[in-house]
């Protein structure tokens, strides 16, 4: 609904500027109506059609009521019509405006149409069909092409961000191919993937990132079960229906859109400069080695010469790695056209994106073709094909299927030595266990983790619709979808992988893993639709649809692992010359098929458009469950009452345009687990760990569960749609209560012999309220302004975890140093962070004395001892709260819930304005009340077991606790230490391991001006001379500003996504950029 | 054209409708095989048995956690950085472990991987019994025996480290997913029966293709391991109620168990399928990946060249990469300083077991090659095990984290000493003496008078002989991680560790039996440019004599800057809590949490 204002403003443009499409409509309407003109006893009438602002309307339809006699207005809004002498009424209509009926009196009839802002006739995709917005009983949010076109984006999902109530869109990091997490009303699963079902032109697909935004006609998000139940088994997390553009009748139209953008890293984190770094290294060397400086002197020289580092030039690694100016060029050409019998559309899009990170770029080509023809009066054929080819270069800043978090890239840009140090290279501490471990030149680290991804998708579908008899339509669709992904991963000399995974002879030689994934899906759908128009009186409308669908997906992966490539080979050479290495394994793995057989039906009934009822039922049989559990049944029902249609509401007509109450209840399912979980299968795997054996057989690490069944979500939804003051203010309010039962959980069962097992256990609940509003503040001829906004509150609660009360999950960014840092408990929600409570630092007064013989500081009685977590304590050590009674020791029992990744509410608002030929729009989005687990901050401010790493300025001299006397010795004198640290605020970074405390949990609330766009449409007069029907140029700023208290790079982040249990971790995310876009839209 | 399209779509649709019966939603797995195929085909079944080894090699399994950590600290061995008493490793090995240990409390830790290995063994055993025709197929019989033995091997380690643990002897089902702990006696009885069955299935060393290598289970190992299991089963250990006692189960009574152990050991010795050979050669063979059976080694965990942290943890330290290794590691664990001084100076095992130096000064030439390297004396408080040395290896380790040495599970000397111990218990020292003597003679080659005198003194009584066994196992197996379990089963853990602390104090102060050593050591590099010549380690050496030698360097050994080089912090870190209260590790918190309430930690945790 939010897009209405946009659409309307577009329409205005059309009316005023004589948009091309309009001309087409005009021509066609002329043709159609010309043919229908009856030369009988007639009189001639004429007139002008205008809108409320007095602007003439081109191509408005003017029809004599009850006949097919009519015409359309010309370019000046004028019409001339010969009408039968007895004609009484003219019906004047125009898309997007209220249809007027005018009495024919006299020969000149001028008509003024008013905006129909509610767009009740807007068509919404509801699954296996469409419906008019006004007839909808469920909860559906929509975004139309105009809204998408107004914002230049390279990925369709970006366009939804902040635009649809109850749809939370999180771009997990800043890379060009970053995963975008979409949650519709929170999502019910715990470990499962809560991603909604994507349907593109009827076809279920894994992702819509490979679809060019310019090809999209509309995106409809089905939110409650009454709308999703038609997708039965897979609708539990919402359904996003993407409809791509089809051909239109008329002469051939060519559209060309192009934009180009420049981008820079949006934010940096300052690190210690050379002299402070050297000073800290000296203190750390003393702290780590009981006051001996050997490990400092080895690399830095004598302490007396430390001032030599004051003027050493430093490398700004963040700038060297992420600092380049990214450049994107995106263009799209589409050609559409057709006759009343056949229509076609063709489009080509290309994106070329050089990202801000070195070695990182992105390219995508899309080709689509659609063809539609009426074979006979009763038979229509549709054909469509889509092809996309995506190439992604560069390894990104981290990866989900990592061998070790040691290979995460961002950290090297932060912690690497600011200046080159002789001998302090990766080799001087190559083992991950030593103090110098993992200290690699960030650029080398980048090229050593290079990756290329080549993704191709093609999709072909054909359908035939046969109107067997009046209002009875049978439709058969067959489609084929093919996806192939080629992933080339390179492991260079500095990676953990090549030091640990290959057999000894091939260690310390580059390695590549080439993975070719193929997936093909065949879909056959047959539906029968009958509109009971003929059998019922005019007041009753009944429409029924029954259908059947079969989806068969086959997939597999060929993984070739090549070890022992010659040292010195870079990534490209290694990919090209794999024969120079040794095949460690060639694994051709076929997944069990995923088959789904479904039967479904839907009935929609309304009485005078006042009382609306709909019922849906779907039965799904899935190959993922064993006999007895295969079939799931998902019924739903919904009712709506158009209050404004009642007679007793007649008085309010002057201010209330429309008021509708909606109520729905239904179930939807989820089978989003890997295939083949019913029986324990024996798999053959490669090994480099056992002498004399290259492979072994074992049961998979996930234990089979023959008792698996469908996860079911029960949705209850109430909604009110309203439109007030001649549609100046419209909107809707919805409330929902979703319960998900028999959750499919990938449940950890460590210690039993397997790692995990899929189970149906537990229950979650999502409750929430959504509100969207649209206010057309000003709507004058040359000046318009409107606002729209939406907000969604969602509260997720785990009602039950079956057998257990709670369990922990580990995000694993610090390997094993931190362990469990998320806690999943009954009564809580997924995303609760679990750790220690920071108590600042140990002050001198916390200690009784320093014992010079044992070289230890002795704590005062009653002061909590955190040495088990932090390491040996001394004044300045990080202090943690002891939460358990009975001891005074901080240990694992003293952790609690310290953060929650779930926002209280998310939303967005948009402002659109126009002034003469200029248009301006600003899109904001926000998230409020969620916490971010700033793992970066922990890593960049604590030493853990490592030495020689740099830190961020959070720990710069003057802020961090210091133990260093001016003479270069460690101070153990209470008074002296107190004096040294009179002005410091932070604890000492020196600790044995990384510690997750509430200090690292930060408020992730933000408000972002996502886009700010200024456009100018060239005047008609200029364009006519150039034979161009429309030309708009615009400039857009992306990520213009962000208001947040978050101290990291960007609060919109979630990088530990290997399990759904650990959302909201900011660890080594690819930094986001700020972008400036210039573009043009051209039609002729 | 349109007509054809229309017709073909119609046909396809029809096909879709017709196929709509229930079996179209069956989807069997593809890239896998059924048990009946795997376990009736020797080459595939062998691969399934290797799946058990895979579990040993997982990062935090035997490879990175159990082998490096279990078995410390004792009266012979400790973690060389144990003075860092806040480190989780110090707690773990210093008898004060916590269930949330950052070293161990992870889902992929040894506990989980051991049960993974057990599950894999259980599946192998079920599969081979169901489909393997082991009566007629010797290859499959060997594999069944191997699976039974490996399962017993894991269980013995579980019981050693955790006491009572869940008993899983069948593949998991939903019903058996969560099991409470089972009394260790139940497990002992099952694995003793399993090993007895395995002894009837597997071949003696060199008897078939599989038993050519010590990396595969052979009958000498099965029987030796049966003996070890019996001795543990009959031995003392801490029970859930806190008491330390032997089993009350009459089946596990000392006489029965020792009889079984004796018979099994004698079977091995009398089979003459393995030979003692030289003490040093056994370890050289281990370092050189020589896995031929028939020598002293009975069984080794078959880590590949690039996997395992045996030398990395237990070997002589190399501070830099050098001509012997591209991996600057070693020396994480080491002998107590007292051990060197406790050996008889003529015992050849002393200088092989206790090394006072590390290697330094190597220079890297390329990614796979380095040059140089020489020995540098370390310090009195930190010694290295010399049984494993990079310089003995026939290949250069290039991996940064793994050395690829096998873990020697059992060697023939153990069988001899177990035989001696069992026979002494059952029949007295006279009958037992030959087996102790065999080991003793090897340690004192060409010194038979000394051996005879020693044998005469220790065979005086059963008790004296038992004490001799306790000592002999110390000198023979130091660094092989047998001591802790031995002390526990003898109920000597606390006593011996307390004695060790006293000895360390005495050594630090050079009093009592440690009197008579000089302050310093005097050393130079030998003519070969790498090995050390040290004066000052033997009793009777003096500083005056040392200084007079004119060696290039000297170093305060017992005393440096006027202070004892072994301080109380170091000595006290041997154990941080009464070892008898902490004979077992706690079950790590993640496994307690994931046990659905069926597991708990006993023993006062």
Judge: A688–B107 Cβ closer than 8 Å, yes or no: no
Q: Which helix (H) or strand (E) holds A460?
A: strand A451-469
In the predicted structure, residue A171 carries a pLDDT above the cut 60? yes
> Distance from A172 to chain B by nearest Cα, in Å?
27
How far, in Å, CA of A797 to CA of A830, rounded?
Answer: 8
> Distance from A283 to chain B by nearest Cα, in Å?
19
How far, in Å, CA of B431 to CA of B433, rounded?
Answer: 6
In chain A, the residue whose alpha carbon lies closest to the alpha carbon of B405 is A691
Closest by CA position to A144, among listed A95, A179, A102: A95
Residue A690 has its nearest CB partner, among B12, B13, B50, at B50
Distance of alpha carbon B518 from its chain centroid, rounded? 36
The size of chain B, in residues, is: 605
How far, in Å, CA of A886 to CA of A902, rounded?
Answer: 34
What is the C-alpha R_g of chain B? 27
Average pLDDT for A607-618:
87
The complex's ipTM works out to 0.89
pLDDT of residue A93: 78
How far, in Å, CA of A873 to CA of A868, rounded?
Answer: 9
In the predicted structure, residue A118 carries a pLDDT above the cut 90? no
Residue A754 has its nearest CB partner, among B98, B119, B329, at B119
Which of B21, B27, B166 has the most A C-beta neighbours within 10 Å, making it the best mutation to test the interface with A?
B27
pLDDT of residue B141: 95
Contact call for residues A538 and A478 (beta carbons, < 8 A) = no
pLDDT of residue B588: 93
In the predicted structure, residue A447 carries a pLDDT above the cut 80? yes
Q: What is the mean pLDDT of chain A?
A: 82
Highest mean pLDDT among A103-117, A387-401, A542-556, B514-528: B514-528
Closest by CA position to A328, among listed A359, A358, A357, A362: A362
Residue B484 to residues B234, B309, B420, B491: CA-CA distances in angstroms?
16, 20, 19, 10
Cis preceding linkage at B73, omega within 30: yes
Q: In a 3-state reduction of DSSP, which class is residue A705? A: coil
In the predicted structure, residue A135 carries a pLDDT above the cut 80? no
Distance of alpha carbon B187 from its chain centroid, rounded? 20
Q: Tens digits of per-residue pLDDT, B72-92?
A: 999 999 999 888 777 788 999
Average pLDDT for B200-207:
95
Residue A592 has its nearest CB partner, among B28, B57, B103, at B28
Highest mean pLDDT among A330-339, B78-87, B522-531: B522-531
Higher-scoring residue by pLDDT: A226, A609: A609
pLDDT of residue A10: 40
pLDDT of residue B118: 96
In the predicted structure, residue A799 carries a pLDDT above the cut 80? yes
Which of A631, A691, A804, A818 has the most B C-beta neighbours within 10 Å, making it the best mutation to test the interface with B?
A691
Contact call for residues B202 and B145 (beta carbons, < 8 A) = yes
Judge: B400–A499 Cβ closer than 8 Å, yes or no: yes
From chain A, pick out residues whose CB is under 8 angstroms from the CB of B406: 691
> Distance from A890 to chain B by nearest Cα, in Å?
12
Name the band, by pLDDT with cuts 50, 70 and 90, for residue A429: very low
Q: In a 3-state reduction of DSSP, which class is residue A177? A: coil
**Looking at A366-370, A816-820, B543-547, which range is the least confident one?**
A816-820
Residue A751 has its nearest CB partner, among B24, B100, B595, at B595
Judge: B13–A502 Cβ closer than 8 Å, yes or no: no
Percentage with pLDDT > 90 across chain A: 8
The contacts of residue A635 (CB under 8 Å, 6+ apart) are A229, A615, A616, A617, A618, A666, A667
Judge: A871–B2 Cβ closer than 8 Å, yes or no: no
* Pair type for strands A656-670 and A711-724: antiparallel
- Alpha helices per DSSP H over B39-137: 42-57, 67-69, 88-93, 110-131
Contact call for residues A511 and A564 (beta carbons, < 8 A) = yes
SS3 content of chain B, % helix, strand, coil (to 5): 50, 10, 40
From chain B, pick out residues whose CB is under 8 angstroms from the CB of A430: 400
Q: What is the mean pLDDT of chain B?
A: 91
Name the band, by pLDDT with cuts 50, 70 and 90, for residue A13: very low
Query: How many other CB atoms are found less than 10 A from the CB of residue A532?
Result: 15
Judge: A478–B12 Cβ closer than 8 Å, yes or no: yes
In the predicted structure, residue A117 carries a pLDDT above the cut 80? no
Judge: B174–A697 Cβ closer than 8 Å, yes or no: no
In chain B, the residue whose alpha carbon lies closest to the alpha carbon of A554 is B27
Q: What is the 3-state secondary structure (H, E, C) of A634-677?
A: EEEEEEEEEHHHCHHHHHHHHCEEEEEEEEEEEEEEECCCCCCC
**Looking at A618-627, A981-990, B324-333, which range is the least confident one?**
A618-627
Judge: A689–B19 Cβ closer than 8 Å, yes or no: no
In the predicted structure, residue A400 carries a pLDDT above the cut 60? no
How far, in Å, CA of A67 to CA of A69, rounded?
Answer: 5
From chain B, pick out residues whose CB is under 8 angstroms from the CB of A750: 107-108, 111-112, 590-591, 594
Judge: A524–B86 Cβ closer than 8 Å, yes or no: no
How far, in Å, CA of A714 to CA of A39, rounded?
Answer: 61
- Phi and psi at residue B5, to the nearest 5°: -60, -45
Closest by CA position to A465, among listed A595, A373, A598: A373
Contact call for residues B82 and B382 (beta carbons, < 8 A) = no
Written as six digits, the tokens of A671 are 């089978």
Higher-scoring residue by pLDDT: B399, A39: B399
Which of B8, B51, B318 has the most A C-beta neighbours within 10 Å, making it the best mutation to test the interface with A?
B51
Closest by CA position to A937, among listed A923, A949, A955, A924: A955
How far, in Å, CA of A152 to CA of A261, rounded?
Answer: 10
In the predicted structure, residue B5 carries a pLDDT above the cut 60? no
Query: How many other CB atoms are found less than 10 A from the CB of residue A384?
Result: 22
Name the band, by pLDDT with cuts 50, 70 and 90, for residue B7: low
pLDDT of residue A24: 41
> Distance from B212 to chain A by nearest Cα, in Å?
13
Average pLDDT for A676-691:
84
In chain A, the residue whose alpha carbon lies closest to the alpha carbon of B121 is A698
Judge: A597–B594 Cβ closer than 8 Å, yes or no: no
**Dihedral sign (CA B490, B494, B497, B501):** negative
Residue pairs between chains A and B whose CB atoms are closer than 8 Å: 283
pLDDT of residue B375: 95
pLDDT of residue A286: 86
From chain A, pick out residues whose CB is under 8 angstroms from the CB of B53: 689-690, 693, 696
Which of A745, A752, A823, A859 has the most B C-beta neighbours within 10 Å, making it the best mutation to test the interface with B?
A752
Higher-scoring residue by pLDDT: A497, B467: B467
For the purposes of burial, counting CB atoms within 10 Å of the CB of A875, is it exposed (0-12), middle (13-18) or buried (19 or more)? buried
Contact call for residues B474 and B76 (beta carbons, < 8 A) = yes
Give the alpha-carbon dihedral of B68, B72, B73, B75, to 10 degrees: -120
Q: Tens digits of per-residue pLDDT, A985-1016?
A: 999 998 888 889 999 999 999 999 988 888 88
Residue A993 has its nearest CB partner, among B25, B26, B102, at B102
Which of A497, A751, A990 has the most B C-beta neighbours within 10 Å, making it the best mutation to test the interface with B?
A751
Residue A749 has its nearest CB partner, among B13, B303, B594, at B594
Closest by CA position to B199, among listed B218, B212, B185: B218
> Distance from B304 to chain A by nearest Cα, in Å?
4
Residue B168 has its nearest CB partner, among A506, A691, A753, at A753
How far, in Å, CA of A334 to CA of A1082, rounded?
Answer: 11
Name the band, by pLDDT with cuts 50, 70 and 90, for residue A121: low
Judge: B27–A595 Cβ closer than 8 Å, yes or no: yes
From chain A, pick out residues whose CB is under 8 angstroms from the CB of B106: 810, 816, 819
Name the band, by pLDDT with cuts 50, 70 and 90, for residue B342: very high
* Pair type for strands A756-760 and A702-703: parallel
How far, in Å, CA of A735 to CA of A715, rounded?
Answer: 11
Does the reported pTM lie above 0.90? no
**Looking at A156-170, A307-321, A679-693, B496-510, which range is the least confident one?**
A156-170
pLDDT of residue B320: 87
Average pLDDT for B418-439:
96
pLDDT of residue A3: 40
Q: Tens digits of per-residue pLDDT, A17-26?
A: 444 444 444 4
Q: Tens digits of per-residue pLDDT, A238-283?
A: 888 888 888 777 778 888 888 888 988 888 888 888 888 888 888 8
How far, in Å, CA of A517 to CA of A557, rounded?
Answer: 4
Name the band, by pLDDT with cuts 50, 70 and 90, for residue A433: very low
Residue B115 has its nearest CB partner, among A685, A698, A753, at A753
Which of A439, A494, A507, A695 has the most B C-beta neighbours within 10 Å, making it the best mutation to test the interface with B?
A507
Closest by CA position to A1036, among listed A88, A63, A151: A151
In chain B, the residue whose alpha carbon lies closest to the alpha carbon of A463 is B9
How far, in Å, CA of A408 to CA of A445, rounded?
Answer: 9
Residue A698 has its nearest CB partner, among B120, B364, B596, at B120
Average pLDDT for A1052-1074:
83
Residue A749 has its nearest CB partner, among B54, B177, B306, at B177
* Pair type for strands A326-338 and A342-354: antiparallel
Closest by CA position to A570, among listed A747, A706, A449, A436: A449
**Dihedral sign (CA A1000, A1003, A1005, A1008):** negative
In the predicted structure, residue B14 carries a pLDDT above the cut 60? no
Beta bridge partners, A258, equal A331, A1080
Highest mean pLDDT among A332-346, B6-20, B565-579: B565-579
User: With b meaning 16 or more CB within 10 Å and e meaning fewer, what string describes B216-227?
Assistant: bbbbbbbbbbbb
SS3 content of chain A, % helix, strand, coil (to 5): 15, 45, 35
Judge: B174–A707 Cβ closer than 8 Å, yes or no: yes
Q: What is the 3-state secondary structure (H, E, C) of B455-474?
A: HHHHCCCHHHHHHHHHHHHH
> Distance from B322 to chain A by nearest Cα, in Å?
13
Judge: A891–B98 Cβ closer than 8 Å, yes or no: yes
How far, in Å, CA of A612 to CA of A713, rounded?
Answer: 24
pLDDT of residue B43: 92
Q: Tens digits of per-residue pLDDT, A1016-1055?
A: 888 877 777 777 778 888 888 888 889 999 988 888 888 8
> Distance from A746 to chain B by nearest Cα, in Å?
13
Query: How many other CB atoms are found less than 10 A from the CB of residue B37?
Result: 13
From chain B, pick out residues whose CB is under 8 angstroms from the CB of A588: 31
From chain A, pick out residues whose CB is under 8 angstroms from the CB of B302: 690-692
From chain B, pick out residues whose CB is under 8 angstroms from the CB of A476: 9-10, 12-13
Average pLDDT for A6-23:
41
Name the band, by pLDDT with cuts 50, 70 and 90, for residue A405: low
């Amino acid at each position: 609904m939010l897009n209405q204002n946009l659409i309307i403003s577009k329409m205005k443009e059309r009316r005023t500027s004589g948009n091309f499409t309009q001309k087409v409509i005009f021509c066609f309407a002329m043709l159609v109506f010309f043919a229908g003109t009856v030369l009988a006893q007639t009189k001639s009438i004429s007139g002008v059609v205008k809108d409320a602002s007095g602007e003439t309307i081109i191509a408005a339809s003017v029809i004599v009521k009850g006949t097919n006699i009519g015409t359309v207005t010309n370019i000046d809004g004028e019409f001339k019509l010969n009408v039968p002498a007895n004609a009484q009424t003219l019906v004047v209509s125009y898309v997007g405006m209220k249809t007027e009926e005018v009495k024919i009196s006299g020969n000149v009839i001028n008509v003024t149409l008013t905006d129909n802002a509610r767009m009740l006739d807007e068509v919404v995709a509801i699954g296996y069909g469409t419906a008019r917005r006004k007839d909808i009983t469920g909860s559906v949010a929509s975004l139309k092409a105009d809204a998408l076109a107004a914002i230049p984006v390279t990925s369709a999902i970006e366009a939804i961000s902040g635009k649809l109530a109850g749809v939370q869109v999180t771009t997990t990091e800043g890379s060009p191919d970053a995963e975008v997490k979409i949650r519709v009303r929170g999502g019910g699963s715990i470990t499962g993937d809560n991603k909604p079902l994507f349907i593109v032109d009827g076809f279920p697909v894994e992702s819509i990132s490979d679809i060019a935004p310019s090809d999209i006609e509309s995106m409809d998000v089905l939110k409650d079960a009454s709308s999703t139940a038609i997708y039965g088994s897979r609708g539990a997390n919402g359904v996003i229906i993407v409809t791509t553009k089809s051909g239109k009748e008329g002469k051939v139209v060519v559209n060309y859109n192009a934009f180009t953008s420049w981008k820079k890293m949006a934010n940096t984190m300052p690190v210690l400069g050379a002299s402070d770094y050297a000073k800290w290294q000296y203190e750390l060397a003393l702290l780590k080695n009981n006051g001996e400086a050997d490990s400092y002197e080895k690399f830095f020289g004598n302490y007396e010469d430390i001032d030599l580092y004051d003027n050493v030039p430093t490398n700004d690694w963040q700038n060297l790695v992420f600092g380049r100016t990214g450049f994107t060029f995106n263009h799209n050409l589409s050609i559409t056209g057709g006759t009343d019998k056949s229509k076609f559309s063709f489009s080509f899009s290309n994106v070329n994106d050089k990202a801000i990170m070195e070695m990182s770029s992105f390219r995508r080509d899309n080709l689509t073709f659609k063809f539609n023809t009426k074979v006979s009066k009763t038979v229509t054929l549709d054909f469509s094909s889509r092809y996309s080819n995506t190439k992604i270069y560069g390894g990104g800043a981290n990866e989900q299927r990592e061998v070790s978090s040691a290979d995460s890239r961002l950290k090297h840009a932060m912690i690497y030595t600011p200046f080159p140090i002789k001998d302090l290279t990766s080799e001087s501490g190559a083992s991950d266990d030593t103090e110098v471990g993992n200290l690699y030149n960030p650029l080398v680290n980048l090229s050593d983790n290079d990756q290329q991804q080549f993704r191709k998708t093609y999709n072909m579908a054909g359908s035939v619709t046969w109107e067997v008899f009046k209002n009875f339509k049978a439709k058969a669709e067959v489609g084929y979808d093919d996806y192939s992904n080629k992933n080339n991963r390179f492991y260079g000399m500095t990676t953990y992988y090549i030091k640990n995974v290959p057999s000894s002879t091939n260690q310390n030689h580059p390695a590549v893993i080439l993975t070719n994934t193929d997936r093909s899906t065949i879909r056959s759908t047959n539906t029968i639709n009958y509109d009971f128009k003929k059998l019922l009186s005019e007041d009753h409308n009944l429409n029924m649809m029954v259908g059947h669908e079969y989806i068969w997906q086959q997939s597999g992966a060929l993984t070739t692992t090549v070890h022992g490539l010659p040292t010195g080979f870079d990534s490209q050479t290694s990919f090209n010359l794999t024969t120079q290495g040794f095949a460690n394994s060639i694994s051709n793995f076929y997944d069990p098929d995923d088959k789904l057989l479904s039967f479904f039906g839907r009935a929609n009934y309304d009485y005078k458009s006042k009382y609306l009822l709909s019922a849906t039922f779907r039965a799904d049989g899935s190959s993922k469950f064993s006999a007895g559990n295969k079939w799931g049944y998902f019924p739903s029902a919904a009712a709506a009452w158009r209050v404004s249609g009642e007679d007793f509401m007649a008085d309010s007509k002057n201010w209330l345009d429309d008021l509708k109450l909606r109520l729905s209840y239904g179930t939807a399912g989820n089978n989003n687990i890997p295939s083949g979980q019913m029986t324990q299968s024996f798999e053959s795997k490669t090994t480099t760990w056992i002498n004399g054996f290259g492979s072994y057989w074992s049961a998979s690490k996930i234990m089979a569960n023959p008792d698996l069944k469908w996860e079911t979500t029960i949705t209850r939804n109430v909604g009110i749609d309203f439109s007030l003051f001649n549609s100046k203010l419209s909107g809707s309010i919805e409330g929902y209560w979703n319960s998900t039962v028999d959750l499919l959980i990938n449940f950890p069962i460590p210690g039993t012999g397997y790692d995990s097992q899929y189970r149906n256990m537990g229950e979650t609940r999502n409750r929430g309220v959504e509100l969207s509003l649209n206010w057309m503040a000003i709507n004058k001829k040359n000046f318009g302004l409107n606002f729209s906004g939406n907000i969604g509150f969602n509260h997720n609660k785990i009602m039950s975890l079956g057998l257990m009360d709670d369990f922990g999950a580990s995000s694993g960014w610090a390997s094993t140093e931190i362990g469990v840092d998320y806690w999943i408990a009954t009564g809580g929600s997924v995303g609760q962070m679990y750790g220690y409570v920071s108590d600042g630092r140990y002050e001198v007064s916390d200690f009784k004395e320093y014992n010079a013989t044992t070289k230890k500081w002795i704590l005062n009685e009653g002061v909590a001892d955190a040495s088990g977590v932090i390491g040996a304590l001394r004044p300045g050590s990080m202090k943690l709260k002891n939460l358990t009674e009975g001891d005074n020791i901080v240990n694992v029992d003293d952790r609690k819930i310290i953060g929650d990744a779930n926002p209280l509410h998310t939303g967005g608002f948009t402002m659109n304005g126009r002034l003469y030929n200029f248009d301006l729009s600003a899109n904001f989005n926000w998230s409020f009340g969620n916490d971010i687990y700033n793992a970066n901050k922990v890593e960049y401010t604590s030493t853990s077991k490592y030495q020689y790493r740099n830190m961020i300025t959070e720990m710069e001299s003057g802020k961090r606790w210091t133990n260093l006397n001016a003479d270069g010795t460690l101070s153990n004198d209470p008074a002296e230490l107190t004096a040294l640290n009179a002005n410091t605020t932070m604890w000492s970074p020196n600790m044995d391991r990384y510690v997750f405390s509430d200090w690292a949990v930060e408020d992730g609330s933000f408000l972002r001006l996502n886009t700010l766009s200024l456009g100018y449409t060239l005047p008609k007069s200029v364009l006519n001379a150039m034979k161009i029907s429309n030309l708009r140029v615009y400039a857009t700023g992306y990520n213009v500003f962000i208001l947040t208290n978050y101290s990291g790079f960007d609060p919109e982040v979630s990088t530990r996504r290997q399990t759904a249990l650990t959302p909201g971790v900011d660890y080594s995310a690819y930094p986001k950029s700020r972008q400036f876009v210039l573009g043009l839209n051209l039609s002729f | 054209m349109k007509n054809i399209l229309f017709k073909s779509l119609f046909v396809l649709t029809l096909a879709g409708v017709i196929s709509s019966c229930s079996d179209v939603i069956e989807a069997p797995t593809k890239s896998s095989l059924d048990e009946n195929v795997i376990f009736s085909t020797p080459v595939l079944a062998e691969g399934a048995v290797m799946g058990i080894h895979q579990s040993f090699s997982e990062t935090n399994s035997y490879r990175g956690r159990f082998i490096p950590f279990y078995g410390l600290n004792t009266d012979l061995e400790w973690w060389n950085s144990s003075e860092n008493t806040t480190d989780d490793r110090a707690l773990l090995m210093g008898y004060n472990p916590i269930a949330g240990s950052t070293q161990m409390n992870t889902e992929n830790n040894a506990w989980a991987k051991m049960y993974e290995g057990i599950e894999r063994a259980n599946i192998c055993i079920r599969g081979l019994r169901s489909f393997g025709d082991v009566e007629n197929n010797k290859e499959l019989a060997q594999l069944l025996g191997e699976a039974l033995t490996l399962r017993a091997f894991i269980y013995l380690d579980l019981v050693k480290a955790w006491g009572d643990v869940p008993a899983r002897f069948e593949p998991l089902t939903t019903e058996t997913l969560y099991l409470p702990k089972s009394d260790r006696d139940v497990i002992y009885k099952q694995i003793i029966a399993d090993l007895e069955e395995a002894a009837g299935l597997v071949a003696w060393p060199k008897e078939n293709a599989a038993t050519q290598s010590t990396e595969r289970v052979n009958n000498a190992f099965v029987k030796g391991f049966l003996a070890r299991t019996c001795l543990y089963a009959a031995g003392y250990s801490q029970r859930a109620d806190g008491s330390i006692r032997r089993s009350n189960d009459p089946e596990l009574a000392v006489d029965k168990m020792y009889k079984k152990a004796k018979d099994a050991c004698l079977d091995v010795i009398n089979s003459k399928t393995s030979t003692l050979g030289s003490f040093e050669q056994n370890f050289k063979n281990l370092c050189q990946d020589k896995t031929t059976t028939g020598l002293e080694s009975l069984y080794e965990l078959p880590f590949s060249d690039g996997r395992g942290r045996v030398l990395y943890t237990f070997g002589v330290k190399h501070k830099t990469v050098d001509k012997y290794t591209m991996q600057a590691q070693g020396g994480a664990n080491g002998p107590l300083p007292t051990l060197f001084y406790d050996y008889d100076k003529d015992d050849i095992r002393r200088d092989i077991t206790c090394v006072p130096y590390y290697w330094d000064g190597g220079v890297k030439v390329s990614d796979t090659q380095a040059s140089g390297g020489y020995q540098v004396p370390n310090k009195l408080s930190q010694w290295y095990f010399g049984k494993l040395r990079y310089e003995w290896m026939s290949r250069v380790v290039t991996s940064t984290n793994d050395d690829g040495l096998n873990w020697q599970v059992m060697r023939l000397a153990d069988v001899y000493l177990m035989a001696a111990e069992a026979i002494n218990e059952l029949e007295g020292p006279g009958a037992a003496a030959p087996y102790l003597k065999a080991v003793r003679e090897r340690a004192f080659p060409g010194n038979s008078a000394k051996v005879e005198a020693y044998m005469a003194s220790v065979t005086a009584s059963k008790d004296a002989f038992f004490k001799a066994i306790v000592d002999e196992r110390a000198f023979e197996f130091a660094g092989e991680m047998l001591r802790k379990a031995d002390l526990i089963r003898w109920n000597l853990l606390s006593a011996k560790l307390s004695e060790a602390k006293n000895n360390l104090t005495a050594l630090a102060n050079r009093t009592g039996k440690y009197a008579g050593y000089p302050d310093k050591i005097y050393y130079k590099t030998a003519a070969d440019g790498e090995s050390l010549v040290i004066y000052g380690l033997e009793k009777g050496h003096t500083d005056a004599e040392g200084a007079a030698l004119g060696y290039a360097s000297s170093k305060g050994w017992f005393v440096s800057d006027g202070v004892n080089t072994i301080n109380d912090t170091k000595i006290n870190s041997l154990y941080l809590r009464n070892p008898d209260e902490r004979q077992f590790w706690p079950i790590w918190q993640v496994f307690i949490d994931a046990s659905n309430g069926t597991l708990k930690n006993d023993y006062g945790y």
